[in-house]
Protein backbone atom coordinates (compact mmCIF):
# COMPACT_ATOMS: atom_id res chain seq x y z
CA UNK A 1 0.00 0.00 0.00
CA UNK A 2 1.06 3.58 -0.67
CA UNK A 3 0.30 6.61 1.49
CA UNK A 4 -1.92 7.91 -1.28
CA UNK A 5 -3.48 4.57 -2.30
CA UNK A 6 -7.22 3.97 -1.83
CA UNK A 7 -8.77 0.83 -3.33
CA UNK A 8 -6.78 0.33 -6.52
CA UNK A 9 -3.08 0.05 -7.18
CA UNK A 10 -1.13 1.37 -10.16
CA UNK A 11 -0.12 -0.79 -13.08
CA UNK A 12 3.27 -2.34 -12.25
CA UNK A 13 4.98 -0.64 -15.23
CA UNK A 14 3.60 2.73 -14.13
CA UNK A 15 4.77 2.17 -10.58
CA UNK A 16 8.30 1.21 -11.64
CA UNK A 17 8.61 4.17 -13.97
CA UNK A 18 7.27 6.76 -11.55
CA UNK A 19 9.29 5.52 -8.58
CA UNK A 20 12.51 5.45 -10.65
CA UNK A 21 15.52 6.04 -8.38
CA UNK A 22 13.44 7.70 -5.68
CA UNK A 23 14.05 4.99 -3.08
CA UNK A 24 17.80 5.20 -3.64
CA UNK A 25 17.77 8.99 -3.41
CA UNK A 26 15.53 8.93 -0.32
CA UNK A 27 18.32 7.30 1.68
CA UNK A 28 20.15 10.63 1.42
CA UNK A 29 17.14 12.18 3.15
CA UNK A 30 16.46 9.58 5.84
CA UNK A 31 18.04 11.38 8.81
CA UNK A 32 16.48 14.67 7.79
CA UNK A 33 13.03 13.14 7.41
CA UNK A 34 13.25 12.05 11.04
CA UNK A 35 14.35 15.54 12.11
CA UNK A 36 11.43 17.12 10.27
CA UNK A 37 9.01 14.67 11.88
CA UNK A 38 10.39 15.35 15.36
CA UNK A 39 9.77 19.07 14.89
CA UNK A 40 6.33 18.44 13.37
CA UNK A 41 5.03 16.23 16.19
CA UNK A 42 6.31 18.68 18.80
CA UNK A 43 4.22 21.33 17.08
CA UNK A 44 1.20 18.97 16.80
CA UNK A 45 1.26 18.42 20.56
CA UNK A 46 1.43 22.16 21.16
CA UNK A 47 -1.86 22.69 19.27
CA UNK A 48 -3.66 19.71 20.79
CA UNK A 49 -3.44 17.21 17.93
CA UNK A 50 -1.28 14.87 20.03
CA UNK A 51 -1.30 14.16 23.75
CA UNK A 52 1.86 14.50 25.80
CA UNK A 53 2.09 10.71 26.11
CA UNK A 54 1.65 10.26 22.36
CA UNK A 55 4.35 12.84 21.71
CA UNK A 56 6.71 11.11 24.12
CA UNK A 57 6.15 7.72 22.51
CA UNK A 58 6.62 9.09 18.99
CA UNK A 59 9.77 10.98 19.96
CA UNK A 60 11.32 7.85 21.45
CA UNK A 61 10.63 5.76 18.36
CA UNK A 62 11.77 8.48 15.94
CA UNK A 63 15.04 8.83 17.83
CA UNK A 64 15.45 5.05 17.67
CA UNK A 65 15.00 5.21 13.88
CA UNK A 66 17.50 8.09 13.73
CA UNK A 67 20.01 5.97 15.64
CA UNK A 68 19.58 3.15 13.10
CA UNK A 69 20.20 5.61 10.27
CA UNK A 70 23.33 6.92 11.95
CA UNK A 71 24.63 3.37 12.42
CA UNK A 72 23.92 2.52 8.76
CA UNK A 73 21.47 -0.28 9.59
CA UNK A 74 18.33 1.48 8.32
CA UNK A 75 16.79 0.20 5.09
CA UNK A 76 13.70 0.74 2.98
CA UNK A 77 11.66 -2.44 2.70
CA UNK A 78 11.09 -3.74 -0.84
CA UNK A 79 7.35 -3.03 -0.79
CA UNK A 80 7.65 0.48 0.71
CA UNK A 81 7.49 3.43 -1.67
CA UNK A 82 9.68 6.04 0.01
CA UNK A 83 11.40 7.21 3.18
CA UNK A 84 8.24 8.89 4.50
CA UNK A 85 6.25 5.68 4.12
CA UNK A 86 9.00 3.63 5.78
CA UNK A 87 9.20 5.88 8.84
CA UNK A 88 5.42 5.96 9.22
CA UNK A 89 5.25 2.16 8.80
CA UNK A 90 7.85 1.59 11.51
CA UNK A 91 6.03 3.93 13.89
CA UNK A 92 2.69 2.24 13.21
CA UNK A 93 4.18 -1.22 13.73
CA UNK A 94 5.49 -0.12 17.13
CA UNK A 95 2.78 2.26 18.29
CA UNK A 96 -0.35 1.31 16.37
CA UNK A 97 -2.76 4.14 15.54
CA UNK A 98 -0.52 6.68 17.26
CA UNK A 99 2.01 6.18 14.47
CA UNK A 100 -0.60 7.16 11.88
CA UNK A 101 -1.12 10.56 13.52
CA UNK A 102 2.32 11.77 12.46
CA UNK A 103 1.04 12.86 9.05
CA UNK A 104 -1.65 15.19 10.40
CA UNK A 105 -1.45 18.75 9.03
CA UNK A 106 1.20 18.05 6.43
CA UNK A 107 1.58 16.63 2.93
CA UNK A 108 4.34 14.60 1.38
CA UNK A 109 5.03 17.77 -0.61
CA UNK A 110 6.11 19.90 2.35
CA UNK A 111 7.66 16.82 3.97
CA UNK A 112 9.94 16.36 0.94
CA UNK A 113 10.60 20.11 0.81
CA UNK A 114 11.80 20.30 4.40
CA UNK A 115 13.86 17.11 4.00
CA UNK A 116 15.61 18.51 0.93
CA UNK A 117 16.29 21.86 2.58
CA UNK A 118 17.71 20.20 5.67
CA UNK A 119 19.86 17.95 3.47
CA UNK A 120 21.13 20.80 1.29
CA UNK A 121 21.85 22.92 4.36
CA UNK A 122 23.89 20.12 5.90
CA UNK A 123 25.77 19.39 2.67
CA UNK A 124 26.68 23.04 2.18
CA UNK A 125 28.07 23.10 5.72
CA UNK A 126 30.16 19.98 5.05
CA UNK A 127 31.41 21.44 1.77
CA UNK A 128 32.45 24.72 3.38
CA UNK A 129 34.37 22.75 6.02
CA UNK A 130 36.00 20.65 3.25
CA UNK A 131 37.11 23.79 1.39
CA UNK A 132 38.94 25.28 4.38
CA UNK A 133 41.99 22.94 4.56
CA UNK A 134 42.43 23.13 0.79
CA UNK A 135 42.29 26.93 0.99
CA UNK A 136 44.95 26.92 3.72
CA UNK A 137 47.16 24.62 1.64
CA UNK A 138 46.98 27.08 -1.26
CA UNK A 139 47.88 29.99 1.02
CA UNK A 140 50.77 28.01 2.48
CA UNK A 141 52.18 27.24 -0.97
CA UNK A 142 51.63 30.83 -2.08
CA UNK A 143 53.82 32.07 0.74
CA UNK A 144 56.38 29.29 0.35
CA UNK A 145 56.86 29.85 -3.38
CA UNK A 146 56.32 33.61 -3.62
CA UNK A 147 59.88 34.20 -4.89
CA UNK A 148 59.67 31.52 -7.59
CA UNK A 149 58.85 33.16 -10.90
CA UNK A 150 56.58 31.61 -13.49
CA UNK A 151 55.61 32.65 -17.03
CA UNK A 152 52.29 34.43 -17.25
CA UNK A 153 50.14 33.86 -20.33
CA UNK A 154 47.35 35.53 -22.25
CA UNK A 155 45.84 33.66 -25.21
CA UNK A 156 48.28 30.91 -24.15
CA UNK A 157 51.04 33.17 -25.45
CA UNK A 158 53.89 34.44 -23.28
CA UNK A 159 52.78 37.64 -21.60
CA UNK A 160 54.46 38.87 -18.40
CA UNK A 161 56.27 37.44 -15.39
CA UNK A 162 54.09 35.77 -12.81
CA UNK A 163 54.99 33.67 -9.79
CA UNK A 164 53.91 30.51 -8.07
CA UNK A 165 52.95 32.76 -5.17
CA UNK A 166 50.46 34.48 -7.43
CA UNK A 167 49.27 31.22 -8.97
CA UNK A 168 48.50 29.43 -5.71
CA UNK A 169 47.10 32.62 -4.17
CA UNK A 170 44.78 33.23 -7.11
CA UNK A 171 42.98 29.94 -6.52
CA UNK A 172 42.83 30.63 -2.80
CA UNK A 173 41.06 33.94 -3.39
CA UNK A 174 38.80 32.28 -5.96
CA UNK A 175 37.63 29.92 -3.21
CA UNK A 176 36.71 32.93 -1.07
CA UNK A 177 34.21 34.08 -3.68
CA UNK A 178 33.01 30.50 -4.10
CA UNK A 179 32.26 30.33 -0.37
CA UNK A 180 30.40 33.64 -0.61
CA UNK A 181 28.15 32.17 -3.30
CA UNK A 182 27.64 29.08 -1.11
CA UNK A 183 26.63 31.46 1.67
CA UNK A 184 24.04 33.07 -0.61
CA UNK A 185 22.63 29.65 -1.45
CA UNK A 186 22.64 28.76 2.25
CA UNK A 187 20.59 31.83 3.14
CA UNK A 188 17.98 30.84 0.55
CA UNK A 189 17.96 27.21 1.70
CA UNK A 190 17.78 28.12 5.39
CA UNK A 191 14.05 28.97 5.35
CA UNK A 192 11.33 26.65 6.59
CA UNK A 193 8.73 25.34 4.10
CA UNK A 194 7.09 22.95 6.60
CA UNK A 195 3.39 23.71 7.03
CA UNK A 196 2.82 24.68 3.41
CA UNK A 197 1.28 21.18 3.01
CA UNK A 198 0.43 20.52 -0.64
CA UNK A 199 1.18 24.15 -1.42
CA UNK A 200 -1.98 25.80 -0.11
CA UNK A 201 -1.60 25.64 3.64
CA UNK A 202 -3.74 23.84 6.21
CA UNK A 203 -7.01 24.47 8.02
CA UNK A 204 -5.36 23.19 11.21
CA UNK A 205 -4.09 26.00 13.50
CA UNK A 206 -0.47 24.95 13.02
CA UNK A 207 2.45 26.92 14.47
CA UNK A 208 5.01 27.24 11.68
CA UNK A 209 7.21 29.56 13.74
CA UNK A 210 7.70 26.76 16.27
CA UNK A 211 8.93 24.23 13.69
CA UNK A 212 11.18 26.93 12.25
CA UNK A 213 12.84 27.40 15.63
CA UNK A 214 13.06 23.67 16.37
CA UNK A 215 14.81 22.91 13.06
CA UNK A 216 17.20 25.85 13.36
CA UNK A 217 15.93 27.64 10.26
CA UNK A 218 16.70 31.36 10.12
CA UNK A 219 13.18 32.19 8.93
CA UNK A 220 10.07 30.89 7.19
CA UNK A 221 9.07 30.58 3.60
CA UNK A 222 5.95 32.53 4.50
CA UNK A 223 3.80 32.28 1.40
CA UNK A 224 2.71 28.64 1.09
CA UNK A 225 2.50 28.77 -2.70
CA UNK A 226 6.02 30.16 -2.92
CA UNK A 227 7.25 27.49 -0.50
CA UNK A 228 6.25 24.91 -3.11
CA UNK A 229 7.63 27.04 -5.96
CA UNK A 230 10.93 26.96 -4.07
CA UNK A 231 11.27 23.29 -5.05
CA UNK A 232 13.57 23.40 -8.03
CA UNK A 233 14.74 26.91 -7.23
CA UNK A 234 16.54 25.74 -4.09
CA UNK A 235 18.25 22.99 -6.07
CA UNK A 236 19.18 25.32 -8.92
CA UNK A 237 20.65 28.01 -6.65
CA UNK A 238 22.63 25.37 -4.77
CA UNK A 239 23.84 23.80 -8.01
CA UNK A 240 25.08 27.18 -9.20
CA UNK A 241 27.08 27.61 -5.99
CA UNK A 242 28.54 24.13 -6.42
CA UNK A 243 29.44 24.93 -10.01
CA UNK A 244 31.52 27.90 -8.88
CA UNK A 245 33.65 25.69 -6.64
CA UNK A 246 33.85 23.15 -9.46
CA UNK A 247 34.99 25.84 -11.89
CA UNK A 248 37.85 26.83 -9.59
CA UNK A 249 39.00 23.20 -9.29
CA UNK A 250 38.57 22.53 -13.00
CA UNK A 251 40.71 25.49 -14.04
CA UNK A 252 43.39 24.68 -11.48
CA UNK A 253 43.44 21.10 -12.79
CA UNK A 254 43.86 22.31 -16.36
CA UNK A 255 46.78 24.50 -15.29
CA UNK A 256 48.36 21.54 -13.48
CA UNK A 257 48.02 19.33 -16.57
CA UNK A 258 49.74 22.00 -18.69
CA UNK A 259 52.45 22.75 -16.14
CA UNK A 260 53.29 19.04 -15.78
CA UNK A 261 53.67 18.69 -19.56
CA UNK A 262 57.33 18.33 -20.55
CA UNK A 263 57.12 21.38 -22.84
CA UNK A 264 56.23 23.49 -19.80
CA UNK A 265 58.03 21.48 -17.10
CA UNK A 266 57.09 23.80 -14.25
CA UNK A 267 55.95 21.25 -11.66
CA UNK A 268 56.34 17.57 -10.80
CA UNK A 269 54.77 14.96 -8.53
CA UNK A 270 55.96 11.70 -6.98
CA UNK A 271 55.61 8.78 -9.37
CA UNK A 272 52.99 7.12 -7.18
CA UNK A 273 50.62 10.07 -7.72
CA UNK A 274 50.75 9.76 -11.51
CA UNK A 275 49.91 6.90 -13.85
CA UNK A 276 51.85 5.16 -16.59
CA UNK A 277 51.29 3.84 -20.09
CA UNK A 278 50.92 0.23 -21.21
CA UNK A 279 53.52 0.73 -23.97
CA UNK A 280 55.41 3.96 -23.15
CA UNK A 281 57.64 3.41 -20.11
CA UNK A 282 58.47 7.09 -19.69
CA UNK A 283 54.89 8.29 -19.11
CA UNK A 284 53.75 10.04 -15.92
CA UNK A 285 50.17 11.03 -16.65
CA UNK A 286 48.17 13.54 -14.57
CA UNK A 287 45.11 11.28 -14.40
CA UNK A 288 43.97 12.68 -11.04
CA UNK A 289 43.81 16.22 -12.38
CA UNK A 290 42.17 15.06 -15.61
CA UNK A 291 39.42 13.30 -13.66
CA UNK A 292 38.97 16.26 -11.30
CA UNK A 293 38.60 18.45 -14.40
CA UNK A 294 35.97 16.16 -15.92
CA UNK A 295 34.02 15.61 -12.69
CA UNK A 296 33.96 19.35 -12.07
CA UNK A 297 32.95 20.18 -15.64
CA UNK A 298 30.00 17.84 -15.21
CA UNK A 299 29.03 19.64 -12.00
CA UNK A 300 29.26 22.93 -13.90
CA UNK A 301 26.49 21.59 -16.15
CA UNK A 302 24.15 20.98 -13.19
CA UNK A 303 22.54 24.45 -13.04
CA UNK A 304 21.61 24.21 -16.72
CA UNK A 305 20.24 20.69 -16.28
CA UNK A 306 18.05 21.79 -13.39
CA UNK A 307 17.01 24.95 -15.20
CA UNK A 308 15.88 22.97 -18.23
CA UNK A 309 14.16 20.27 -16.18
CA UNK A 310 12.03 22.93 -14.47
CA UNK A 311 11.44 25.13 -17.52
CA UNK A 312 7.78 26.12 -18.10
CA UNK A 313 6.47 24.42 -14.97
CA UNK A 314 3.49 26.33 -13.53
CA UNK A 315 3.11 26.82 -9.77
CA UNK A 316 2.25 23.78 -7.69
CA UNK A 317 3.93 20.40 -7.43
CA UNK A 318 4.88 18.35 -10.51
CA UNK A 319 6.56 14.95 -10.63
CA UNK A 320 9.32 16.39 -12.84
CA UNK A 321 10.87 17.68 -9.63
CA UNK A 322 11.59 14.15 -8.44
CA UNK A 323 14.39 13.80 -10.99
CA UNK A 324 16.36 16.74 -9.61
CA UNK A 325 17.53 14.66 -6.66
CA UNK A 326 19.44 12.08 -8.66
CA UNK A 327 21.35 14.81 -10.49
CA UNK A 328 22.17 17.00 -7.51
CA UNK A 329 22.51 14.81 -4.42
CA UNK A 330 25.60 12.79 -5.49
CA UNK A 331 27.35 15.95 -6.70
CA UNK A 332 28.22 17.00 -3.15
CA UNK A 333 30.27 13.88 -2.47
CA UNK A 334 31.90 14.11 -5.90
CA UNK A 335 32.98 17.67 -5.20
CA UNK A 336 34.30 16.78 -1.74
CA UNK A 337 36.24 13.88 -3.27
CA UNK A 338 37.75 16.26 -5.83
CA UNK A 339 38.83 18.65 -3.07
CA UNK A 340 40.42 15.78 -1.18
CA UNK A 341 42.33 14.54 -4.23
CA UNK A 342 43.43 18.04 -5.21
CA UNK A 343 44.77 18.44 -1.65
CA UNK A 344 46.66 15.16 -1.95
CA UNK A 345 48.26 16.24 -5.22
CA UNK A 346 49.18 19.80 -4.21
CA UNK A 347 50.38 18.56 -0.84
CA UNK A 348 53.08 16.65 -2.73
CA UNK A 349 53.86 19.11 -5.53
CA UNK A 350 57.43 20.11 -6.42
CA UNK A 351 57.97 23.50 -8.04
CA UNK A 352 60.79 24.13 -10.49
CA UNK A 353 63.01 27.10 -9.68
CA UNK A 354 64.74 29.58 -12.02
CA UNK A 355 62.30 28.85 -14.85
CA UNK A 356 62.62 32.31 -16.35
CA UNK A 357 66.39 32.02 -16.81
CA UNK A 358 65.65 30.16 -20.03
CA UNK A 359 66.18 32.48 -23.03
CA UNK A 360 62.84 31.54 -24.56
CA UNK A 361 61.13 33.56 -21.81
CA UNK A 362 63.09 36.78 -22.45
CA UNK A 363 60.17 38.66 -23.96
CA UNK A 364 58.18 38.24 -20.75
CA UNK A 365 60.25 41.18 -19.55
CA UNK A 366 59.35 43.55 -22.40
CA UNK A 367 56.78 45.40 -20.30
CA UNK A 368 59.33 45.72 -17.51
CA UNK A 369 61.72 47.40 -19.96
CA UNK A 370 58.98 49.72 -21.20
CA UNK A 371 58.17 50.70 -17.62
CA UNK A 372 61.84 51.44 -16.91
CA UNK A 373 61.89 53.93 -19.79
CA UNK A 374 58.66 55.53 -18.58
CA UNK A 375 60.18 55.97 -15.14
CA UNK A 376 63.03 57.84 -16.88
CA UNK A 377 60.48 60.33 -18.22
CA UNK A 378 59.81 58.89 -21.70
CA UNK A 379 56.09 58.92 -22.66
CA UNK A 380 54.57 55.44 -22.53
CA UNK A 381 53.70 55.25 -26.24
CA UNK A 382 57.23 56.23 -27.23
CA UNK A 383 58.75 53.74 -24.79
CA UNK A 384 56.43 51.02 -26.15
CA UNK A 385 57.53 51.74 -29.74
CA UNK A 386 61.21 51.73 -28.82
CA UNK A 387 61.08 48.37 -27.07
CA UNK A 388 58.93 46.96 -29.87
CA UNK A 389 61.49 48.11 -32.45
CA UNK A 390 64.33 46.57 -30.41
CA UNK A 391 62.47 43.25 -30.36
CA UNK A 392 61.88 43.37 -34.13
CA UNK A 393 65.54 44.20 -34.83
CA UNK A 394 66.96 41.64 -32.43
CA UNK A 395 68.44 44.31 -30.15
CA UNK A 396 66.19 43.68 -27.14
CA UNK A 397 68.02 43.35 -23.81
CA UNK A 398 66.60 42.88 -20.34
CA UNK A 399 67.27 41.87 -16.74
CA UNK A 400 65.26 39.37 -14.75
CA UNK A 401 64.91 41.75 -11.85
CA UNK A 402 61.31 42.81 -11.20
CA UNK A 403 59.96 45.16 -8.59
CA UNK A 404 56.19 44.83 -8.08
CA UNK A 405 54.93 46.39 -4.85
CA UNK A 406 51.26 47.24 -5.27
CA UNK A 407 48.53 45.24 -3.49
CA UNK A 408 48.06 41.78 -4.95
CA UNK A 409 51.21 41.81 -7.07
CA UNK A 410 54.22 39.47 -7.10
CA UNK A 411 55.95 41.40 -4.33
CA UNK A 412 52.85 42.07 -2.22
CA UNK A 413 50.55 39.04 -2.33
CA UNK A 414 48.22 40.24 0.47
CA UNK A 415 47.57 36.67 1.56
CA UNK A 416 46.71 37.91 5.05
CA UNK A 417 43.89 39.96 3.52
CA UNK A 418 42.67 36.94 1.55
CA UNK A 419 42.69 34.80 4.70
CA UNK A 420 40.70 37.48 6.53
CA UNK A 421 38.10 37.50 3.74
CA UNK A 422 37.73 33.73 3.98
CA UNK A 423 37.30 33.88 7.75
CA UNK A 424 34.63 36.54 7.34
CA UNK A 425 32.82 34.52 4.67
CA UNK A 426 32.87 31.34 6.79
CA UNK A 427 31.56 33.18 9.85
CA UNK A 428 28.55 34.43 7.87
CA UNK A 429 26.92 30.99 7.83
CA UNK A 430 26.49 30.82 11.63
CA UNK A 431 26.51 27.03 11.51
CA UNK A 432 26.66 26.84 15.30
CA UNK A 433 23.07 28.14 15.60
CA UNK A 434 21.76 25.36 13.37
CA UNK A 435 23.78 22.67 15.14
CA UNK A 436 22.57 23.90 18.52
CA UNK A 437 18.94 23.68 17.46
CA UNK A 438 19.30 20.19 16.00
CA UNK A 439 21.17 18.98 19.07
CA UNK A 440 18.25 20.10 21.23
CA UNK A 441 15.76 18.47 18.86
CA UNK A 442 17.57 15.13 18.89
CA UNK A 443 18.74 15.26 22.50
| pLDDT for 8 | 56
Kindly give, in sequence order, each residue whose CB lies less than 8 Å from that of residue 364, ignoring residues fewer than 6 positions away: 151, 152, 158, 159, 160, 161, 356
Q: Where are the beta strands (DSSP E) in 164-288?
A: 191-192, 219-220, 267-268
Residue 191: beta bridge partners?
219
Average pLDDT on 429-435 reads 96
Would the pTM count as exceeding 0.85? Answer: yes
Average pLDDT on 27-53 reads 97
Q: In which band, very low, low, confident or very high, does the pLDDT at 82 lie, cut at 50, 70 and 90? A: confident
Tell whether the model's pLDDT for residue 10 goes beyond 60: no
CA dist list (Å): 393 to 79, 386, 389: 82, 11, 6
Average pLDDT on 14-26 reads 78
Strand pairing of 350-351 and 267-268? antiparallel
| pLDDT for 263 | 94
Check: CB of residue 169 under 8 Å from CB of residue 194: no
Tell whether the model's pLDDT for residue 408 goes beyond 60: yes
Whole-number Å distance between alpha carbons of 331 and 337: 10
Tell whether the model's pLDDT for residue 4 goes beyond 50: no
272-325 confidence digits (pLDDT tens): 998 765 667 666 889 999 999 999 999 999 999 999 999 998 998 888 888 899
Average pLDDT on 6-32 reads 77
Check: CB of residue 309 under 8 Å from CB of residue 233: no
Cα dihedral angle (249, 251, 253, 257), rounded to 10 degrees? 180
Task: Compute φ and ψ for 350, nearest 5 degrees.
Answer: -115, 135
Percent of the chain with pLDDT strictly greater than 70: 96
3-state DSSP assignment of residue 230: helix
Residue ranges and CATH numbers for the domains of the chain are 12-103 (1.10.275.10), 108-357+413-442 (1.20.200.10), 360-410 (no CATH)
Tell whether the model's pLDDT for residue 2 goes beyond 70: no
Whole-number Å distance between alpha carbons of 35 and 216: 11
Q: The dihedral of CA 182, 185, 187, 193: what is its sign?
A: negative
Based on its alpha-carbon atoms, the radius of gyration of the chain, rounded to whole angstroms, reads 28
Amino acid sequence: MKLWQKDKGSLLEVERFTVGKDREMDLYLAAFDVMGSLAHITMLESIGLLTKDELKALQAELKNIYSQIEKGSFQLQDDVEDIHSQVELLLTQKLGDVGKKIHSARSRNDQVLVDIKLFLRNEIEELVHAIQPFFQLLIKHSEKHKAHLLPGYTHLQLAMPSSFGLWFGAYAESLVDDVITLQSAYHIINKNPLGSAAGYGSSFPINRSLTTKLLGFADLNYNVVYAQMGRGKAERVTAMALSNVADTLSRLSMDACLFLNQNFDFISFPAELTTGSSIMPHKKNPDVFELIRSHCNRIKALPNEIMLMTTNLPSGYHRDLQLLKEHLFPAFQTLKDCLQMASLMLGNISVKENILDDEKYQYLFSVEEVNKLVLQGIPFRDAYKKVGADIESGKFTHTNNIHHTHEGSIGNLCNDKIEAMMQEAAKGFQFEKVQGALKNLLG
